[in-house]
Chains A and B, each alone.
Chain A
Amino acid sequence: MDIATQSIDGGFAEPVFNAQAVFRAIMDAMARPGFVQALPQLARPPAPLSATAGAVALSLCDNDTPLWLDPPLQAEASVKAWLGFHSGVPLANTPADAHFALIANPKEMAALDGFAQGTQEYPDRSTTLILLVDDLASGPSLLLEGPGIEKTSMIAPPGMPRHFVEQWKQNNQRFPRGVDIILAAPGSLACLPRTTRIKSMEA
């Protein structure tokens, strides 16, 4: 399939209702960190962008929100063409300019503090990271607490960034500045807003 066909195929079949369904899953996941939200396959983006991450991008990004792609995604012209055709999203030159970032390979990703953190006056002007993960249960367990969590919750995404727990602690300390993370796994997603504290990590 050539790039032109790939970029046109695989968008939302029902843009209005699919975008709402995906947003609602993200909102509920953001409000209940670590709680895994199921999400049917609503978009079919070209690899290596996953269906879940593609759907999240289509429901949140548009021409107002510069998007940063990590090198594996940056290398795929079809991914850029697909995102451009379906959302009109401009690509950010640096992570610090990005409103959203799509990360296909979280293990090798740039440090969290390299992304936009917002300012003390406007902490909302920060990057939301969309991390593509294989699942939410097979990696090292992260025990979470904070707003949205009644007591504790548990999530175990594999292939997270290096020194993630330490980096996340620093992200917590920057509050109200900081980045928020959407973990996009096949068929499901979960969120780590900047308020969530990782209590412990079991190897």
Chain B
Amino acid sequence: MNAQSTDIATYNFAYLDEQTKRMIRRAILKGIAIPGYQVPFASREMPMPYGWGTGGVQVTASIIGPDDVLKVIDQGADDTTNAVSIRAFFKKVAKVDVTTETAKATIIQTRHRIPEQPLTAGQVLVFQVPIPEPLRFLEPRETETRKMHALEEYGLMHVKLYEDIAKHGRIATTYAYPVKVEGRYVMDPSPTPKFDNPKMHRSPALQLFGAGREKRIYAVPPFTEVVSLDFEDHPFEVQTFDQPCALCGAENVYLDEVILDDHGGHMFVCSDTDHCEKRRADGHHGHLAPETHSASGKMEPAE
């Protein structure tokens, strides 16, 4: 504390001022009490542009304490720009410990993925949300969508999913796949791949969602029913991959395609980098894992 107070100009702990934190904290409590309902809040400008996670950052800043351990992921990865800069931000303004290990984190701020390793009670998952309103692309007027939520009138969403089936023969929505929370509110799970939707269902971790530009906070408490919308004859299905991770050989995980060269060479690797590293450290190998690394090394001079 003394070291902090001798700094000439310093930010309040976790950047936000106390009144802003209280306002966000009150919104979080209402969000938890009404699962899936989007609580309006007075979102602040943050030292990063909209679309870079200002909502998630404000939620994290309002809940984080000096004892927390923070992990930040961007599309599953700990080492991409968004994740690195937000982690550095909280290291600087809140002096908290940061980690890339899912199990060690108390707060995980995420952009569009849920870690592969099951979360535990006491962990908080903070989602960065661009468009919190699942009905927004079907009905642009806020007054109308609010009324639709009030009246539990979600027919339009089912029509949209039905139109997918009529056009493509299946529900073609692959991310931001709408869910119904505790049998009441239809909610946008943020643009996570629908692969992650089942992980939200009765998760032991608290899930908080922050949309900075749209000024909404919502929440899913632990052990809460989160059901992906579907039809009896077209049940909800997650993506499947026909090959395992090229680096760690993991199956039944979400994979990213990585382009290797200009000749169509590509590989599929775990989107969750921490999960992939852990598996490789445990001795799992995929077909492009480091032993075969010399092969890919040979390809480089060809470019």
User: Which residues 5-28 of A sit at the B interface, judged by CB distance below 8 A?
Assistant: 15-17, 19-21, 23-24, 26-28
Beta-carbon contacts of A98-110 to B below 8 Å, as 1s and 0s? 0100000000000
Q: What sequence of 0s and 1s flags, for each residue 111-124 of chain A, a beta carbon within 8 Å of any chain B beta carbon?
A: 00000000111111
Q: In the complex, what residues of B have CB within 8 A of residue A175's CB? A: 34, 184
The closest CB in chain A to the CB of B22 belongs to A62
**Which chain A residues lie closer than 8 Å to B224 at the CB level?**
147-148
Contact (A19, B34) CB under 8 Å given A27-B29, A128-B29, A180-B29: no
Expressed in whole angstroms, the Cα–Cα distance for A121 and B66 within the complex equals 37
Complex contacts, A21 vs chain B, CB 8 Å? 65
Stretch of B12-20, B43-51, B70-78, B243-251 at the chain-chain interface: B12-20
B184 A120 Cβ-Cβ under 8 A = no
Q: B131 at the A/B interface (Cβ < 8 Å)? A: no
B234 within 8 A of partner (CB):
no
Interface status of A194 (Cβ within 8 A of chain B):
yes
In the complex, whether A78 has a CB less than 8 A from a CB of chain B is no
Q: Which of B145-153, B154-162, B166-174, B254-262 contacts A (4 or more CB under 8 A)?
A: B145-153
Which one, A19, A60, A149, contacts B26 given CB within 8 A? A60
In the complex, which residues of chain B have a beta carbon less than 8 angstroms from the beta carbon of A120? 150-151
Q: Please tell me if the beta carbons of A150 and B223 are within 8 angstroms of each other in the complex.
A: yes
Known interface pairs A17-B66, A27-B29, A148-B221. Does A123 touch B34 (Cβ–Cβ under 8 Å)?
yes
How many residues of A are in contact with the other chain, CB < 8 A? 39
- Whether B223 lies near A149 (C-beta < 8 A) is yes
How far does the alpha carbon of A16 sit from the alpha carbon of B185 in the complex, in Å? 34
> Which residues does chain B contribute within 8 Å of A128, judged by CB atoms?
29
Q: Are B206 and A31 in contact (CB under 8 A)?
A: yes
Q: Which of A136-176 touch B at CB < 8 Å?
A: 147-150, 175-176
Contacts of B63 in A (CB 8 A): 20, 23-24, 27
Chain B residues with Cβ below 8 Å from A149 are 223
Bound together, the chains give a CA A24 to CA B21 distance in angstroms of 12
Q: Is B180 an interface residue (CB 8 A)?
A: no
A-contact 0/1 string along B212-229, CB 8 Å cutoff: 000000010111110000
Measured in the bound complex, the distance between the Cα atoms of B258 and A191 in whole Å is: 47
**Residues of A86-107 whose CB lies within 8 A of B:** 99
CB within 8 A of B65: which of A24, A30, A147, A176?
Answer: A24
> In the complex the two chains form, what is the Cα distance from A27 to B65 in whole Å?
13
Residue of B nearest to A192 (CB): B33
A64 in the interface (beta carbon within 8 A): yes
Q: A24-B65, A147-B224 are in contact. Are A121 and B22 (CB under 8 A)?
A: no
Asked whether any CB of chain A lies closer than 8 Å to the CB of B277, the reply is: no
Contacts of B13 in A (CB 8 A): 16-17, 20
- CB distance B19 to A62 under 8 Å? yes
Q: Hey, which chain B residues are within 8 Å of A30, CB to CB?
A: 29, 32-33, 221
Q: Is A41 an interface residue (CB 8 A)?
A: no
Q: Does A59 contact B (CB under 8 A)?
A: yes
**Cβ-defined contact, B34 with A121, below 8 A:** no
| A60:B25 contact, CB within 8 angstroms | yes
For residue A163, give the distance in angstroms from its CB to the closest CB of chain B.
22
Query: In the bound complex, do residue B33 and residue A194 qualify as a contact, i.e. CB atoms below 8 Å apart?
Result: yes
3 closest residue pairs by CB, A with B: A193-B33, A148-B221, A120-B150
A-B contact pairs, 9 of them (CB 8 A): A17-B66, A24-B65, A30-B29, A62-B22, A123-B37, A150-B222, A175-B34, A194-B34, A195-B33
Measuring CB to CB, which residues of chain A are less than 8 angstroms from any residue of chain B? 15-17, 19-21, 23-24, 26-28, 30-32, 59-62, 64-65, 99, 119-124, 126, 128, 147-150, 175-176, 180, 193-195
B: which residues have CB within 8 A of A?
12-13, 18-19, 21-23, 25-35, 37, 39-40, 62-66, 121-122, 146-147, 149-151, 182, 184-185, 204, 206, 219, 221-225
